Amino acid sequence: MLLFKVDKLVICSYDVMIRFIIFVIIAFIITKTPISVITKGNLIDKLIINRYYLSLQGDIKMSEFIKEVEKRRTFAIISHPDAGKTTLTEKFLLYGGAIQQAGTVKGKKNSKHATSDWMEIEKQRGISVTSSVLQFNYNGFCINILDTPGHQDFSEDTYRTLMAADCAVMVIDASKGVEEQTRKLFKVCTMRNIPIFTFINKMDREARDPYQLMEEIEQELGIDTCAVNWPIGSGKEFKGVYERNDKEIIRFIPVDGGRKEVDTKIMKFDDPELVNELDDELYNKLQDDIELLDIAGNNFDLEKVREGKLSPVCFGSALTNFGIEPFLKHFLTMTTTPLPRSTGEKIIDPFSEDFSAFVFKIQANMNKAHRDRMAFFRICSGKFTKGMEVYHYQGGRKIKLNQSKQLMADERQEVDEAYAGDIIGIFDPGIFSIGDTITTGKTKFAFEGIPTFAPEHFSLIRNKDTMKRKQFVKGVEQIAKEGAIQIFTELGGGMEEIIVGVVGVLQFEVLEHRLKNEYNVEIIKQPLPYQYIRWVKEGCDLSSLNLSSDTKKVQDLKGQHLLLFTNEWGVRWASEKNSGLELLEFSKN
């Protein structure tokens, strides 16, 4: 189904356009609503009208398909390290019944580990260094969570994950407010204009003033906020939250972190017992806060939320289960069904019957019992069925998807069918790369590529044991294809010595750890002085370039030519001394 946007009217293929016109006329006759009002709205509104019209046609099969897609909600969770992102993820899974007990992230040797942290180094260090894909059902919704690395050294993996999400949950530590990594990740979200929902965490500890926290979000991140609920106290005095829409107090009684549900008590604000539940100071402050929010706070506007201009804010504590389920319920009422996706030339409707998906992540050796490589696909339209034949656009051929999985961290189960919005893992014999597209239907297309950003740190690595050259090359190439590192070789050179580029230095540690544990290879690492790398636009003859003496010519895995510079002066010299030379800060997968 072809769709494109003119002002606020979506024009489709002729059959869909005629159905839409008929629907508008029927709506006008029945409701007497002006046609200008009926047709007002954005792309999502038009798709909703179209899909409901299809349901009205009595196409039972199509109607069931529509219902399945409408159930899907796919979002990423972002935060600064230690803000409680992984803990919040696990509490979501508890409420959805996907796990029975949460694993608290700790540094102690015998502590439990987070369900979403599957890699051995994550369990050792108590941090997330790779994105995890988790799915569960809750209140009639099928929810796909993309848990992202909080550490800034893995921000490129986070960016790729956000490309697969329709919205994001931003977790903020109530005692610290907006932190550096939060700013960076938020900027990535705004690049995609996706809705952002804020959960201010750790209210069971001493917290900053909630007004200050919301003001800081607005000033630092440039997005308006609207409090959906409001905290009553913090730290030891944290008594629960006030639900603004229902005008109710939800009192929380702390319980063990592993329990699914907390003991709650719902009270009306004018309930005489509330004064006894709260001391006079807290009660009076709550009255003042509610009045101030109603007068001076931003009004809730769902359209602005979905345009990424307004962030709804909820308060709670993931560790002690304060406010998690209310936040989840609010979130699900505000989020949309899977969003349309662009190929650069057209928009792909998620409710189209033709299947399409793209690779946003590749991971090998997720479990030592499964020495394989998985490509993670975000389904953008249609329905996936096991064994279906699809067209691999970048490979230029048809393939069968026989080995398909859905994963809970390193645990996996067969998946027979999935729908737009879902994330599935497909066994990859080495044919997929990040950004690849697979489709069915007559029209062949590729989704817009996922940018590869320029690394900032470089080292030369070589194998300690020359007898293990095969394992060394395989391991380094595999980890590079996953996007965890970028590798470069000198023009015409071999793989005996490889230049590795990373965004953050912790990625070097992960590389060494994985090579040793997954490929039984130890490496020697030599830091290099380069600080800048630029892709050279295709067609340029590197041998004829006038470059500074410390500039190095290299190529990447795909054979693309690049230049390594030790300083910014070298970049300027190359640009100024070589007319017509185009240097790019990133390429697209």
What is the C-alpha separation between 400 and 388, in angstroms, rounded? 6
Torsion angle defined by CA atoms of residues 345, 348, 353 and 359, in that order, rounded to the nearest 10 degrees: 100
What is the C-alpha separation between 317 and 173, in angstroms, rounded? 10
- The reply to whether 82 sits in an annotated binding site is yes
- The DSSP string of 271-331 is -THHHHHS-HHHHHHHHHHHHHHHHHSPPP-HHHHHTTSEEEEEE-BTTTTBTHHHHHHHH
- The DSSP string of 490-542 is ETT--SSEEEEEESSTHHHHHHHHHHHHHH---EEEEE----EEEEEPTT--G
- The reply to whether 83 sits in an annotated binding site is yes
What is the C-alpha separation between 588 and 527, in angstroms, rounded? 27
- The reply to whether 84 sits in an annotated binding site is yes
Distant-in-sequence, close-in-space partners of 167: CB < 8 Å, separation ≥ 6 = 74, 75, 76, 194, 195, 196, 197, 335, 336
Distant-in-sequence, close-in-space partners of 183: CB < 8 Å, separation ≥ 6 = 220, 221
- What kind and span of H or E run contains 30? helix 14-31
- The reply to whether 117 sits in an annotated binding site is no
Instruction: Give the orientation angle of helix 180-192 with respect to helix 210-221, to 10 degrees.
Output: 60
Contact 213, 174 (CB under 8 A): yes
- The reply to whether 81 sits in an annotated binding site is yes
Instruction: Give the orientation angle of helix 60-71 with respect to helix 43-56, to 10 degrees.
Output: 140
Q: What is the 3-state secondary structure (H, E, C) of 529-566?
A: CCCEEEEECCCCCHHHCCCCCCCEEEECCCCCEEEEEC
Which ranges in 79-192 belong to alpha helices (H)? Answer: 85-95, 120-125, 155-163, 180-192
- The reply to whether 62 sits in an annotated binding site is no
- The reply to whether 150 sits in an annotated binding site is yes
What is the C-alpha separation between 85 and 116, in angstroms, rounded? 11
What is the C-alpha separation between 359 and 375, in angstroms, rounded? 6
- The reply to whether 231 sits in an annotated binding site is no
Question: Strand order of the sheet with strand 389-392?
Answer: 397-400, 389-392, 437-439, 356-364, 373-381, 423-427, 404-408, 411-414
**What is the amino acid identity at position 540?**
C
Please give the structure tokens belonging to residue 507. Answer: 């990625």
What is the C-alpha separation between 173 and 199, in angstroms, rounded? 9
Angle at 366 between CA 361 and CA 367, to 5 degrees: 160
- What kind and span of H or E run contains 575? helix 568-577
Please give the structure tokens belonging to residue 432. Answer: 């997929």
Instruction: Kindly report the number of other CB atoms within 10 A of residue 587's CB atom.
Output: 16
Residue 442 DSSP SS3:
coil
Contact 43, 347 (CB under 8 A): yes
- The reply to whether 149 sits in an annotated binding site is yes
Contact 474, 519 (CB under 8 A): yes
Contact 364, 374 (CB under 8 A): yes
- The DSSP string of 334-367 is H--SPPPEE-SSSEE-TT-SS-EEEEEEEEE-SB
- The reply to whether 80 sits in an annotated binding site is yes
Binding residues for GTP: 79-86, 147-151, 201-204
Binding residues: 79-86, 147-151, 201-204
